[in-house]
Amino acid sequence: MPGERLSIRDNSSVGRFHGVSASNGDAVPESNTESKTKKESGCRRWLRRACPCCFQRQNSSYDVTSDTDGVVARNGENEGPTSPVTPTGDTELDELTLAVRSVNLLSQKSDRNKKEHHTDQYFSDQLIIRRGQTFQMELDFSRPFNPNTDKLHLELKTGPLPQVSKKTHIIIPLVDELQDDCWEAKIVGQNVNQIRLSINSPVKAIIGKYKLTITTQCHKTGETTTHDPNKDVYMLFNPWCEDDTVYMESEKELKEYVLNDTGRIYYGTELQIGARTWNFGQFDEGILEACLFVLDNSEVPPSGRGDPVNVVRVISAMINSPDDRGVLEGNWSGNYVGGTSPTAWSGSIEILRQYHKEGGTPVKYGQCWVFSGVTTTVLRCLGIPCRSVTNFQSAHDTDVSLTTDVYFDEDMQPIHHLNSDSVWNFHVWNDCWMARPDLPPGMGGWQAVDSTPQETSHGTFRCGPASLAAIRSGQVYLKFDTPFVFAEVNSDKIYWQRNPDGTFSQVHSEKKAVGHCISTKAVGSDERVDITNLYKYPEGSEEERIAVETACRYGSKPDVYSSPIAEDVRVEVRMEGEGPLMGGDAKLMIVLKNTSSQPRRTTLHSQAAVMYYTGVLRDTVKKDTLNVELKPQEEKVIEWVLPYTQYQNQLVDQAALMMTLSGRVSETQQVLANQTSFRLRTPDLKIEPIGEAYVGKEMSAKITFTNPLPCTLRNVVIRVEGLGLRDLHPIKVGDVSKHGNVTVTEHFIPTIAGQRKLVASLDCKQLTQVHGVADIDVHESQ
């Protein structure tokens, strides 16, 4: 039954035709019915002997399908069992060449192959199966198949140059009993001219598209025929199979990480976590073909596609485009002329379809959440459990030090040209699930993979798969790209001050600066779940400190932890509620705490700069200097305000800003340093479905939006889409006046019953990350 875990083979559930023995290889009993024949001409008799296929009274293009009673039907008509061919007494006629008339791959959504292989959601009538599990097909011959005198084998070929030695040319023999982990076929049913085969595939079979042919031979005549049914077989990874390296035990997790075609992607800051719905659409029309096209375009030979580690590494490289003309072109400039703004995408479907349709031209444009969303689509489509993951305060280590380094001059002013390391407000990548036989035991399970082009790995922009178990324990010497991911989630932030002789001294460190609120969508709901504990031990614990120091011993600054630094004054930045709104003044609180029994004085420098979400600063919008005196054990709160007029024309995507605080305590010479990023919150698009939803019946949804800015928004476009509801539809709204309201009504016809999501996003240069979602319960047509 669909949803039940399958053993590799289930002999108890094989389909049989009426009147057929359970054993394989028994000859079909011949009918005793007497044949009435007419005298034939010599030419006609020769044709009957030479080509029985052409001589058949009915044409040979029928597809054979079977119902639960084992009765064969042609062209949708139930004709009942076909009578056996009656012996004529002519030895030559009885030994005529055996030919295949038609092949039924049992590939409809309702057929057992797709249900048992969990592929019935794919929008395709092709046979889509998962490796390591039996599948069935039916063959219709020109005469009854006799196992004692006839031979049969199948061939599957994949790739441009199939080779048996590379396991891209598969020869499947007919056997009496199926064995484990090899290609073979067995007869499990026979009815006159038709037989049903059960075919087994190994758990390490290469995934991809195979071309099928069937070869038959009559032992007595030696005649051989090969039938090409012009049908493809698609082979995928099998997370339901215990022997596949992508095996996942939990049915609930399989439903979420393989079969769920929508999800949530998180963004913003750790104090202002935003969420948006993403249409993965891995089962949509043309997506499987597009995903295999991505693999084909990688120039990695098909022989390497049986290993999920290798496939994930290839996909990580191919989703971006700097060095291999992959799926997406990244753009963090803010200028998206000639393409689509990254914030305007709501799903992967149009991106993959466009890439496939245009023959491999990168789609413009993507940023980290788009790269991640497309990666989730491709890996789930191919059968690898996958999820999108967001890391808040995500470090980008550029010198393999495994620390995030900030450099100041003698006056404690930032040295911008040296500050190449950065901390992104958030960064989105992926986790995929698999065993890691290439690593020491215990390193399997979730693996981090990042398709956003940041740093090269062995000369190519890609990252992972890196074991989360290795990241958590600081074992950064294990492949692939574990040091980079470790630095993203658990590097310490080290502050350096330039000395008069040009050298640098460590003056301060933050041990909890990066890797906060690592988030993904919960299994079975739209709630956010925090998975930080999978990436690192609790901050400040002995295990976490050991992991950090272990990792840094393999970095470019192994002696960074040689001397501890004492502190008795702390500085932090706090935010009220969910933080400041776009269009108003931004207010934050600077908090200084003196933990000593002596008074303390400090001069505190504050600087606010507009920032790309990647941590790259653009322009400074405000600078201040504060002289602060603290009594023993005193905590002082200072209000800091950034007026709207100072940032209104400076913002970039994500509306992010960075506040940098630095200073020195006069009595102890302790250095104070803190960097805090925050974003200006944007409004949501409100979507209100109108009326009940039924398959095939037009319905509407009202979409409303209020401009939060005291200025006019230009060339506003609202993009609407929903799996099973409608394809992507851009609605040109035009200009929206300051604080103005917009209402549009979208009409569409649902095509799939069940819980669906209608997603909308606003595309506008002055305002980004505005989106909304509505749940719609679609009923079957009345």
CB 365 within 8 A of CB 342: yes
Structure pTM?
Answer: 0.72
Query: Alpha carbon of 356 to those of 17, 328, 363, 599: distances in Å?
Result: 43, 12, 10, 68
463 assigned to active site = no
3-class state of residue 255 by DSSP = helix
Describe the crossing of helices 349-357 and 368-382 by its angle, rounded to 10 degrees. Answer: 80
Beta strands at 726-736 and 693-694: parallel, antiparallel or unpaired: unpaired
645-666 per-position pLDDT tens digit: 888 877 776 778 888 888 888 8
84 pLDDT band, cuts 50/70/90, is very low
* Residue 286 near residue 292 (C-beta atoms within 8 A): no
pLDDT at 12 over 90: no
Calculate the average pLDDT of the chain.
84
Q: What are phi and psi of 555, to 5 degrees?
A: -95, -175
* Proportion of the chain in helix, strand, coil states, percent, rounded to 5: 15, 40, 45
- Active site residue: 150, 232, 450, 492, which one? 450
Q: Tell me how far apart the alpha carbons of residues 708 and 268 are, in angstroms, rounded to a whole number.
A: 18
What is the band of 619 on the pLDDT scale with cuts at 50, 70, 90? confident
Residue 517 pLDDT greater than 60, yes or no: yes
Please tell me the predicted confidence (pLDDT) of residue 45: 47
Return the pLDDT at 615: 58
Q: Do 700 and 745 touch, CB atoms closer than 8 A?
A: yes
Amino acid at 85: V
* Span 283-288, average pLDDT: 96
Q: Indicate if the pLDDT at residue 171 is higher than 80.
A: yes
Per-residue pLDDT band for 367 (boundaries 50, 70, 90) equals very high
Q: Once rounded to an integer, what is the mean pLDDT over residues 617-633?
A: 87
- What secondary structure letter does DSSP report for 28? P
Q: What is the pLDDT of residues 558-584, one digit of tens each?
A: 777 654 445 799 999 998 888 888 888
Of the chain, the percentage scoring pLDDT greater than 90 comes to: 58
Distances (CA, A) of 95 to 88, 91, 215: 11, 6, 17
427 is catalytic: yes
pLDDT tens digits, one per residue of 301-327: 999 999 999 999 999 999 999 888 899
Query: How far lies 556's CA from each of 211, 352, 401, 537, 560, in Å?
Result: 51, 39, 4, 23, 10
What values do phi and psi take at 99, rounded to 5?
A: -130, 145
* Mean pLDDT (whole number) for 665-676: 82
pLDDT, tens only, 535-551? 999 998 888 888 888 88
Angle among Cα 328, 334, 338 to the nearest 5 degrees reads 55
State residue 147's pLDDT score: 86
In the block, tokens 């207010």 appear at: 587
Note whether 705 and 686 are within 8 A (CB).
yes
Residue 77 has pLDDT above 50, yes or no: no
The confidence band for 23, taking pLDDT boundaries of 50, 70 and 90, is very low
* Averaged pLDDT, 248-260: 96
Residues 6 or more apart whose Cβ sits within 8 Å of residue 41: none
Decide if 386 is catalytic: no
Q: What CA–CA distance (Å, rounded) separates 339 from 327?
A: 13
Nearest to 627 by CA among 653, 655, 602, 607: 602
> What's the pLDDT band for 22 if we cut at 50, 70, 90?
very low
pLDDT of res. 561: 66
Question: Whole-angstrom Cα distance, residue 132 to residue 182?
Answer: 9
Provide mean pLDDT across the span 238-265: 95
Task: Say what the pLDDT of residue 497 is.
Answer: 92
**Cα 297 from Cα 326, distance rounded (Å):** 8
Can you tell me the mean pLDDT for 671-678?
A: 82
Q: Which of 118, 427, 508, 771 is catalytic?
A: 427
613 pLDDT band (50/70/90 cuts)?
Answer: low
∠ CA(758), CA(764), CA(766), 5° rounding?
Answer: 135
User: Among all chains, which residue has been given the structure tokens 């989106």?
Assistant: 771
pLDDT computed for residue 31 by the predictor: 38
Distance, CA of 342 to CA of 340 (rounded, Å)? 6
- pLDDT tens for 143-159 read 999 888 899 999 999 99
